[in-house]
Structure 1
Amino acid sequence: MILSFSVLVFYARKWGWPYLAAVYPYHFLGVVGLLYWIGYKALAQPQLFQADPLLEALRPPQAPDTEPTMVPVTQSQPDAIMAAQALRIRQAMEADKLYLDPELDLIKLSQHLGLPRYQVSAVLNGVIRQKFYDFVNDYRVTAFKELAVSPAYGHYTLLALAHEAGFNSKSTFNAVFKKTTGQTPSQYYQTRGMAASVVV
């Protein structure tokens, strides 16, 4: 009511109504009194300004504010990924025996693994710590040694065994074998009392 009267006095002054316009300087006292009365009621009877329990019960429940769980990025994650990829590369050699392919190169290995070539190269250099051909040829030399002592391959020449192990030329085989073992293939078998069918 006080607010309504204040509005009426305001327009009375604006429109020039003499009786109500004369009250205009004093109507602010009523507004101030109203504000004090509201403040008093808020302190004396706070329940008047609380939400109605019935309305709260009818209000639909709100979903709690939840923030998405953030997985912290740690420095070890990239290392773990590269270690897993290194394991896949070794499995491709040991289980799938890709080294037996004389034409195996980085592109073929990458395609077999389904990984980018640069990623395979990074794992070889950073985790396995070998260049591609050194890594592959180590498996070939090991395979050659195993074939040479197998009775099933007793009639094979050393060069034939080298081809079976994945080497594609005599010169490459000799160079890789000496680099790996420190001996030529013939010297290696002579020191072990094994006779080579053909000196390579």
Structure 2
Amino acid sequence: MPSQVIPNQAYAFWVFVYIAAAVQAALLALALWRRPVNTEANRVLAVWVALTGMDLLVKAVYWNSLSPEWFRAYRFVALFPFLYGSLFYVYVRALIETRAFRLRDGVHLLGFGVMLALNAHVLLMSDQQMQALSARWVAGEKTIGSWFDVPLFVYSLSYVAAALVRVHRYRRRLRERRSDAERMSLRWIDVMAACQVVIWIIATTQWLATLPGIDYRLLFGAVAAWVCVVGWLSLNQPPVTSEPTAVAGEEAPPDTTDPDDARFPAVEARLAQLMGGDEALYREPALTIGQVAKRSGYPEYLVSAVINRRFGGTFWDYINRLRVEAVRVRLVDRDDARTILDIAYDCGFTSKSTFNAAFKRQVGETPSNYRKRQGQGETVTEPTGDAARR
């Protein structure tokens, strides 16, 4: 990364921040490594956080002392950002697939390996050469190491983008198969990615222009803040279910299912039976399409095709429409004095935010406004499978 600010006494506060963040990173890495939830992914994250802590600690020591003896370590950790984007991708994949780091995953570390090889001549310099290089760095020479800034930004951000694509596909897959997809949708990954993008924006701005306040202090201050964000998010994350798949032997490519399949009306009728009356399967919070298919007696791919083509949407959409209709029935019932949230949970919703969004999208107003407006007057019938068409 280019040097635009000469280390001086103004760094004293930031040195303290970096050391504090490095200590927190070490403790967080230990906690993540031992955490029983999402073990495989958390161990990848533990390594990532530990490397970030080492990066911050070395920079803090060097900036505090400006000792040439530490400049070699300083130049080494300057290559760590070539690991951060790829480790984020490996972490996301381990989280989604619930599998540990494998030897072949080392291909995602090649960027760091290549840059390490290209910078080996610097790391292997004699002490005198390293002392001279350190002096040039302290003097603010921008050419030292600046040549790898562009490949660093492109390489790292491409991995962040690839990780977000995998998360998007995972969410889509969940919506096709689970009614509680929103609760398991890895929203904290978006926050982690956004924090990284902010860090890279600061780094890019620092590289392209000299602006007041946009320097190494802000950049690695943002990294220190990122450690805190990761700590809060990672230690509060729920268990993640591996990428859902259909029952073995029942998967059929979407384009091989005849849209005029003679079984479609029978499947629709069976779904209406399961979702209406006393059964009301939609009220089960963690309902999956596999469970519905098993109860219906039809293959999962056929049930999925009926929901997608006849009801227009994913399994998640279908079930939530039924739940919203059930909530509407209860909100206009003068004898039902329960809170709106209690009613929503009773109808199968597991999240207040998901319920409010689904209700407003389907009904066009908030649940509270609907209850006030419709409260005593309108008669609403219990939902059936047909309600999901609306």
TM superposition score normalised by structure 2: 0.28
> Aligned partners of 2:276 and 2:352: how far apart in 1?
24
Q: Does 1:182 align with 2:327?
A: no
CA contact (8 A) 2:307 2:313 kept: yes
User: Match of 1:171, as an amino acid?
Assistant: S
Q: Does 1:85 align with 2:267?
A: yes
CA contact (8 A) 2:334 2:375 kept: no
Q: Does 1:119 align with 2:267?
A: no
User: Match of 1:146, as an amino acid?
Assistant: V
Unaligned regions of 5+ residues in structure 2, if any? Answer: 1-257, 377-390
> Aligned partners of 1:187 and 1:131: how far apart in 2?
28
Unaligned regions of 5+ residues in structure 1, if any? Answer: 1-75, 195-200
CA contact (8 A) 1:178 1:184 kept: yes
User: Match of 2:317, as an amino acid?
Assistant: D
Identity, % of aligned positions = 38
Report deviation, 1:193: 6.0
SS at match of 1:191: helix
> Aligned partners of 1:88 and 1:192: how far apart in 2?
32
Residue 103 of structure 1 corresponds to: 286
SS at match of 1:103: coil
Cα offsets for 1:69-111 (capped at 9, x unmatched): xxxxxxx9x5331111111112110132001111112111111
Kindly report structure 1 stretches of 4+ aligned residues shifted beyond 6 Å. none
Q: Does 1:129 align with 2:316?
A: no
CA contact (8 A) 2:349 2:355 kept: yes
TM superposition score normalised by structure 1: 0.53
Task: Tell me: higher relative CO, structure 1 or 2? Use CA pairs within 8 A at least 6 residues apart.
Answer: 2
Q: 1:84 to 1:147 in 2, by over 3 A?
A: same
Residue 173 of structure 1 corresponds to: 355
Aligned residues: 118
Root-mean-square deviation (Å): 2.2
User: Match of 2:370, as an amino acid?
Assistant: Y
User: Match of 2:265, as an amino acid?
Assistant: A
Report deviation, 1:144: 0.8
Residue 344 of structure 2 corresponds to: 162
SS at match of 1:115: coil
> Aligned partners of 1:189 and 1:149: how far apart in 2?
6
